[in-house]
Amino acid sequence: MEIKAIRGFNDILPDEIGKWQFLEITAREVFEGFGFSEIRIPILERTELFSRGIGEATDIVEKEMYTFTDRSGNSLTLRPEATASMARAYLEHQLYTFDPVAKLYCIGPMFRYERPQKGRFRQFYQIDAEVFGVENPMVDAEVIVMLIDFLKRVGLEKLELQINSLGCRDCRPRYREELKKFFAQKAFQLCEDCRRRLDTNPLRIFDCKVETCREAIVDAPKVIHFICSKCKMHFDQVKGYLETAGLSYVLNPKMVRGLDYYTRTAFEVVSYQLGSQNAVTGGGRYDNLFQEIGGLDIPGIGFAIGMERLVSLLPKDKEFIQTPHLFVAILGEKTIKEAYRIINQLHLQGIRAECDYEGKSLKSQMRRADKLKAQYVLILGENELKRGKAVLRNMGNKVQEEIPILDLVNIIKEKARHQE
């Protein structure tokens, strides 16, 4: 094997595609039930959209983007996330002129140049949902409830919803300074990385796994105590609505987000079965994004679900693999043409009929039928054909019957219907 898929880019093979389709269908059902519409956006955008939207100083923009210059000299980037593009589309097509409130979802691949590991790939799929144009905390709860409902519908248990408030443009800088002061005093017990973070992004220290840093974190000031009264009120209302909806959550004052545009409500759903990359989904409010990309002052909130992480959590016992309704065993040269005629008719009627193409022995054909888990085998031999009949074998109970070829398609359609 010479040419292989490139690092971090994976094939999703037929034996697992059922799970993916299941997730997509369920997401569409649930989201559309909540009044969301699908939007499809390009995979390539002008680099500027992301550098301004996500934030120049974020890891994504600094070192994780697939950026290149096209033949006419424009700097383009494979989308590392969907929110910025969705916001761009909303502005570009002035969707707000139809209705200031837009509820959108989008399913597709994202690209980030990172070192792959468990649950992390260079091309990975996300299910995104966003609400543009509403500042009211009611919609924060609405989005979170929809997300949890989706996760329940796909059969996930043992998940934990964590929420936090990150404050806004006014109060977050104050908190940041406070945090800097605090950790500066404790710099001696911080690891090398965290001392660097002190300057670049002190909030990130909360994520550190080094023992001594964790100790330093314990009595660090919490965002929640520093957010302004407006942000606090917003957060309190979000919690209130979640309680009204009957959702339980865990406050995680240490949760921070890696993208600059996040403000106020931030949330994550984590699983303890995922390994190091334990966030199945993450999201939050981003009331500054639209202005960053040069648009109007429009608030937004949304989330992204990591599909491969979700797929890996899906129960294994679910049978997603499609099996043939029928296997046609062909015996003898003379029957090939008639067999083809029958198989063709079955296919046109939506019957999954398989057959042998290489004139193999009946034994070999039966073995394959069994391997493919075909419920029935139709044996077409010269003897039966002369009498206008064929043998139909039920592989489950080994019962065989002779059926007239003229009624064959109808009989098999009937049997196939019972199988579904």
Residues that bind RNA (CB under 7 A): 4, 6-8, 58-60, 64, 81, 112, 114-121, 124, 126, 193, 197, 201, 204, 207-209, 256-259, 268, 275-283, 304-306, 308-309, 331, 360-364, 366-371, 377, 379, 381-384, 391, 393, 395-396, 398, 400
280-218-261 Cα angle (round to 5): 45
Q: Is there a contact between 60 and 259 (Cβ–Cβ < 8 Å)? A: yes
Q: Which contacts of 320-324 are long-range, i.e. CB under 8 A and separated by 24 or more positions?
A: 320/16, 320/17, 320/18, 320/19, 320/21, 320/22, 321/14, 321/15, 321/18, 322/18, 322/352, 323/352, 323/372, 323/373, 323/374, 323/375, 324/352, 324/353, 324/354, 324/372, 324/373, 324/374, 324/375
- Is residue 403 within 8 A of residue 337, CB to CB? The reply is no
Tell me how far, at minimum, the Cβ of 200 lies from RNA, in Å. 8
Is 117 or 136 the residue whose CB approaches RNA more closely? 117
For the CB of residue 53, give the shortest distance to RNA in the complex, in Å: 12
Nearby residues of 229 by Cβ (< 8 Å), 6 or more positions away: none
Kindly tell me which of 23 and 305 has the beta carbon lying closer to RNA: 305
CB-nearer residue toward RNA: 242 or 335 = 335
Which has the closest alpha carbon to 235: 171, 191, 182? Answer: 171
357, 407 contact by CB (below 8 A): no
- The minimum distance between CB 293 and RNA, in angstroms, equals 17
How many Cα atoms occupy the beta-carbon half-sphere of 354 within 13 Å?
19
| Neighbour tally for 27: CB within 10 Å | 24
Torsion of CA 292, 52, 92, 285, to 10 degrees: -60
| Least gap, CB of 244 to RNA (angstroms) | 25
Residue 259 CB partners (closer than 8 Å, separation 6+): 54, 55, 58, 60, 81, 286
Alpha carbon distance 69, 67 (integer Å):
7
* C-beta of 7 vs 93, nearer to RNA: 7
Distance in Å, CB of 419 to RNA, minimum: 14
Distance in angstroms (rounded) separating the CA atoms of residues 290 and 52: 10
In angstroms, give the least distance from the CB of 314 to RNA.
14
The nearest distance, CB 142 to RNA, in angstroms, is 19
Residue number with CB closer to RNA (98 or 272)? 272
Decide whether 238 or 392 has the Cβ nearer to RNA. 392
Listing DSSP states for 221-261 in one string gives PPGGGTS-HHHHHHHHHHHHHHHHTT---EE-TT---SSTT
First-last CA distance in the chain: 39
Instruction: Identify which of residues 69 and 361 has a Cβ nearer to RNA in the complex.
Output: 361
Q: Closer to RNA at the Cβ: 149 or 207?
A: 207
Q: Which is nearer to RNA, 229 or 265 (CB)?
A: 265
Alpha-carbon distance of 182 to 189, in angstroms, equals 12
Nearer to RNA, 44 or 385 (CB): 385
Q: 134 or 162: whose CB is closer to RNA?
A: 162
What DSSP assignment string belongs to 53-88?
HT-TTSHHHHH--EEEE-TTS-EEEE-S-SHHHHHH
